[in-house]
Amino acid sequence: MTEKELQEKIIRLLKKNGRWVMKASAGPGVPIGTPDIISINKDGKLLAIEVKSPDNDRTATIEQLRVIKKMENQGAKCFVIKTLDDFHNFKSIEKLIDM
């Protein structure tokens, strides 16, 4: 599965669960390191997901990790996900943290 396909599956699952979802794209006005997927639930809790291709060994960049840390410091829940299994494991965690 490609990174794009994994992103699309995650976005569909988030929307199916009633979350507002935005796919962040690099470009003017978007800070370097912004996670791929930004999502908010009905209670206003922010979730950010950086998706990495399951087909290679890439990890989050230093810039991505900095942005993730800043978001977490403001109360967001952030995850780096490489497989659909990672996402399903995250969904189990999400229930525990009341997202």
Query: Long-range contact list for 25-31, CB < 8 A, 24+ apart?
Result: 31/67
The residue assigned the tokens 């699952």 is 13
**Strands across the sheet containing 20-23:** 20-23, 37-40, 46-51, 77-81
Q: Please count the structural domains in the chain.
A: 1
pTM of the model: 0.84
Residue 9 has phi, psi (to 5 degrees) of -65, -45
> How confident is the model over 16-72, as pLDDT tens digits?
888 999 999 888 888 899 999 999 998 899 999 999 887 777 788 999 999 999 999
**Domain of 44?**
3-96
Interatomic CA distance for residues 3 and 53, integer angstroms: 4
In 3-state terms, what secondary structure has residue 58? coil
Write the CATH number for 89.
Answer: 3.40.1350.10
